[in-house]
A and B are shown apart, each in its own frame.
Chain A
Amino acid sequence: MRTIQRTHGFDRSQLRDAAAIAAAMIAVGASFGAIAIAYGLPAWVPFMMSTVVFAGGAQFLAIGLFAAGNPFAAVFAGLLLNARHIPFGMAIGSTMGTGWRRLLGSHVMTDEVVAFTLAEDDPVRRRRTYWLMGITLFTSWNAGTLLGVLLGSAVGDYEALGLDAAFPAALIALILPSLRDKATRVVALTGTAIAVAVTPVLPAGLPVLCALLGLLTLIRFGRGREA
């Protein structure tokens, strides 16, 4: 874990993480904006999605289905993919504060923000990390969207830049600390195997939720420990 520092402000490693993820978000957000334009959607669509929905995976999924002319599927699959925010919210609780802070702060809850927040042990650092990452991601994601819309199809070939590999690699880097716990690792890897295996046969969004079946491995673990 990082150096414990209870003074005001952020330490260097937090700011470096925030800058790195902001750069990545600008690039991925730009791809999103450019792809939306390439699909022939009006320019307000990517902007509205990046501010009102603010969930990268669901946004990519939804524009594909919007472009295919199926808004019902887009809403359904998007909500299904975003259902993971319920356990995320339960895991971090009111880390962001109460009252208006909770109402506003909940909106910037994303995979990356949750992962960074859960990596901190100290409650003060947790709150600070949540807001730093939440605001950084919201700002950079929307700046990226604007950039992508402006560049139009110029960034459209995001696969040539390898950006499709950047997103999962970033997620893996974020969850690795929690995977050093053996039970968590078994749950996560089993869940991932299930999700990948069912991807060809289930509608988009459902396979990731099937990863929760990985929790069933705990039944064996729990019994072994208590017996």
Chain B
Amino acid sequence: MLFAAILVLGIGTYTMRLGGVLLRERLTLSPALQRLLPMAAAALLAALAGTATLMAGSGFAGIARPAGVAVGALLAWRRAPFVVVVIAAAAVAALLRLAGVD
């Protein structure tokens, strides 16, 4: 059962990955749509980042995680190197939790 479920999830995910790529080749995209697609991708990624920052399940994620991400986002905005952004975000969240703020 577990095996079949993972297989279906894997095949479905691969089909969507390849499907998007093949659709792009079969369809001639208008310039408007060509501009739209990267925007759609940016919206999905931003929403993934936003929900992963602020929400835990269906509730609010607390303080430590959003604070860590905020520090990381600020550093990214100031064009800090990628690795600094990631480590700073994790460190701030970890230190806040160590201090009892969650």
Interface pair A162/B39, CB less than 8 Å apart = no
A195 touches B65 (CB 8 A): no
Given A20-B82, A171-B45, A174-B45: A162 touches B8 (CB 8 Å cut-off): no
Scoring B residues 84 to 102 as 1 if CB is less than 8 Å from chain A, else 0, what string do you get? 0111111111110110000
Closest 9 CB pairs of A and B: A89-B20, A169-B72, A165-B68, A211-B47, A169-B89, A162-B93, A52-B10, A162-B94, A162-B90
Give the interface size bracket for A toward B: 35 or more
Q: Which residue of A lies closest to B37 (CB)?
A: A91
Partner of B42, one of A49, A72, A179: A179
Q: Name the interface size band of chain B.
A: 35 or more
A212 touches B (CB below 8 Å)? yes
State the main secondary structure of chain A at its contact with B: helix
Q: Which parts of A67-82 form the interface with B (CB within 8 Å)? A: 71-72, 74-75, 78-79, 82
* 16 A–B pairs (Cβ distance < 8 Å), ordered by A: A20-B81, A48-B3, A79-B13, A79-B16, A84-B41, A88-B44, A90-B20, A106-B18, A109-B17, A161-B94, A169-B68, A169-B90, A170-B86, A172-B49, A187-B43, A188-B43
Chain B residues, Cβ within 8 Å of A227: none
Q: A188 and B24 in contact (CB under 8 A), knowing A162-B97, A199-B58? A: no
User: Which residue of chain B lies nearest to A114 when distances are taken between CB atoms in the complex?
Assistant: B41
User: Can you list, as one digit per residue, whether each of A35-64 has a CB less than 8 Å from chain B (1) or not (0)?
Assistant: 000000110010011001111011000100
Bound complex: CA A86 to CA B7 (Å): 19
Given the interface pairs A75-B9, A161-B94, A165-B90, the reply to whether A192 lies near B85 with Cβ below 8 Å is no
| Distance of A23 from chain B, by nearest CB (Å) | 7
Complex formed: what's the CA distance from A149 to B61 in Å?
A: 26
For residue B83, give the distance in angstroms from its CB to the closest CB of chain A: 4
Also in contact, A165 and B47, with CB within 8 A (given A55-B13, A171-B52, A212-B40): no
**Which residues 91-139 of A have a CB within 8 angstroms of B?**
91-94, 96, 102-103, 106-107, 109, 111, 114-115, 118
Q: Does A214 contact B (CB under 8 A)?
A: yes
The CA of A187 and the CA of B83, in the complex, are separated in Å by: 27
Q: Are A164 and B65 in contact (CB under 8 A)?
A: yes
Complex Cα spacing A71 to B50, Å: 26
The residue on B at minimum CB distance from A107 is B14
Measured CB to CB, the nearest residue on chain B to A170 is B86
Given contacts A45-B6, A53-B13, A211-B43, contact A90 B24 (CB under 8 A): yes
Q: How far is the CA of A112 from the CA of B18 in the complex (A)?
A: 17
Per-position contact with B for A187-220: 1 when CB-CB < 8 Å, else 0? 1111111111001110000011111101100100
Chain B residues lying within 8 Å of A66, measured Cβ to Cβ, are 2, 5
Contacts A171-B46, A184-B42, A194-B47 aside, 5 further interface pairs with beta carbons under 8 A come to A45-B2, A58-B9, A79-B13, A89-B16, A166-B89
